[in-house]
Amino acid sequence: MKTYKRFILTIVLTVLFTAVLSAQNPIIRDQFTADPTARVFNGKVYLFPSHDIKAPEEFKRKDWFCMEDYHVFSSSDLTDWTDHGVIVTQKNVNWVDPATFSMWAPDCIERNGKYYFYFPANVKTGHGRGFGIGVAVADKPEGPYTPEPEPIKGITGIDPVVFIDKDGQAYIYYSMNRLFGAKLKENMLELDSEVKVLGDFPTKGLVEGPFFFERNGIYYMTYPHVEKNTERLEYAISDNPLGPFKVTGVIMDESESGCWTNHHSLIEFKNQWYLFYHDKDLSPNFDKNRSARIDSLFFNPDGTIQKVKPTLRGVGLTNASKKIEIDRYSKKGDAGVSVAFLDTTNTFKGWKTIFDKQNSWIQYNSVDFGKKKAKSVSAMVSARDGGVIQIRLNNNQGPVISEMKIPAGSGWNTVNAKVSKSKKGVQNLVVTSMSNNPVEIDWISFK
Ligand code: FUB
């Protein structure tokens, strides 16, 4: 009976705390998600970000990072993300000082069927000093996770990243104004060597956020580094997990938004490499409330990494019958088209596209029409003086598949139109305004 009750409770909790989110960049839109560490477990991508929140009354540093717990998210297509809810909170970790709201960038790794979640936080008096790194262990990536009673002995630092080499030796890397590395015991809970200060990296402007992986026998240490004003992503390579390393190149330039931090991770999923990183999309005026993004990443044949250009479109296919948010565009014309928040007092409501010139256009790539041709299209629009928009395939000179007349009126309205000459499969779309009247579009969707 007890087991049955627990089973029912688990189902109820899963339903309550599992939300399906569908997004481009940023990939999670109902909360802030910083420091995105992605891992592939059992054919799915799991995202372990840290969780920026607005500072509560009791946290006095209103200008600083404020983080009290971690969620885990999963996706099998990088487009639809499931939030599995909170896996670790500062309230339930014995050694964490909950007054500091300092649950910073985490990592997670699987060994022998167990999942080890590593997280930094400020320790309570009597449990070490400064930042410690703790471990919580689970049987499934979604949890439940049980935190170890003390942080890992011998480590003071932040931003852990854990790596298991082909010979089974595990390593932990972390930072504290420099990069550090050490071997981990097979239990994944204790150090198995002295901590080594990893030299060979910039001595100024590298304070945090390493990531580590191996590909084709090359060991890559990737890290944020402030060359000018804010963190850009760089990488170094080695033929040994603990170096020496050779600084090799830049993966992503400083963000145009001015977001000071850029924490990241890299994964290979279904034969494509991806860069997970963050920016301040949902909080343009405060860069301690960040959001996770993904873009594709490519290697050159010699193992060097091509620079990634951040995009709003992100990765993955968008189902044509879902709401296609064209404000997460792939390309746009030079004049007469812009993107703005739907509601500046609640940025979680998302964005809209504003056209205010004839022939202004925006392009949204990789829309999946599946095996059937679309027959009609709907759009959520607002146009005080009315307007006309055309939807084309391929590019802004491509064939027109629909023309929508938008009646004059105030507020948001759904408008429907016929689609002709539509195609099956994955298509790029271009939406063009045919009038000089201002027209705003929240989304479009096909049937
Ligand atoms: O999120 C808090 C800190 O900001 C992380 O630990 C760093 O990597 C930086 O992103």
- Tokens of residue 106, six digits: 């985490």
pLDDT surpassing 50 at residue 16: no
Residues in the chain: 447
Residue spans per domain, the chain: 2-297, 318-446
* Ligand 1 pocket test, candidate residues 33, 37, 63, 65, most atoms within 8 A of CB: 65
- Summarised one tens digit per residue, pLDDT across range 153-165 is 999 999 999 999 9
- Summarised one tens digit per residue, pLDDT across range 296-340 is 999 999 999 999 999 999 999 999 999 999 999 999 999 999 999
**Cβ proximity of 248 and 300 under 8 Å:** no
- Summarised one tens digit per residue, pLDDT across range 348-391 is 999 999 999 999 999 999 999 999 999 999 999 999 999 999 99
Q: Residues 2-297: name the CATH superfamily.
A: Glycosyl hydrolase domain; family 43 (2.115.10.20)
Determine the Cα–Cα distance for residues 11 and 351; give it in Å rounded to an integer: 34
- Summarised one tens digit per residue, pLDDT across range 186-231 is 999 999 999 999 999 999 999 999 999 999 999 999 999 999 999 9
**Cβ proximity of 346 and 404 under 8 Å:** no
pLDDT surpassing 50 at residue 414: yes
Determine the Cα–Cα distance for residues 114 and 291; give it in Å rounded to an integer: 28
Q: 2-297 and 318-446 share one CATH topology?
A: no
Determine the Cα–Cα distance for residues 43 and 253; give it in Å rounded to an integer: 31
Residue of the CA atom closest to atom 8 of ligand 1? 209
The confidence band for 22, taking pLDDT boundaries of 50, 70 and 90, is low
Determine the Cα–Cα distance for residues 149 and 134; give it in Å rounded to an integer: 8
Answer whether CATH 1.25.40.80 is correct for domain 318-446: no
* Ligand 1 pocket test, candidate residues 51, 233, 261, most atoms within 8 A of CB: 261
Active site (annotated) includes residue 208: yes
Catalytic residue among 208, 281, 325, 327: 208
288 lines ligand 1 (CB under 6 A): no
Give me the mean pLDDT over the 46-70 stretch: 97
pLDDT surpassing 50 at residue 12: no
Active site (annotated) includes residue 167: no
Q: Is the dihedral of CA 254, 346, 21, 320 positive or negative?
A: negative
Contacts of 102 (CB under 8 A, 6+ apart): 65, 67, 90, 96, 120, 121, 122, 131
What's the CA dihedral at 334, 338, 339, 344 to 10 degrees?
Answer: 150
Cis peptide preceding 36, ω within 30 of 0? no
* Ligand 1 geometric centre to CA of 327 (Å): 28
- Tokens of residue 324, six digits: 């296609």
* Ligand 1 geometric centre to CA of 35 (Å): 6
* Ligand 1 pocket test, candidate residues 35, 67, 119, most atoms within 8 A of CB: 35
Residue of the CA atom closest to atom 2 of ligand 1? 104
Stated pTM of the model: 0.94
Task: For residue 18, give Cα distances in angstroms to 21, 86, 167.
Answer: 10, 10, 37
* Ligand 1 geometric centre to CA of 411 (Å): 40
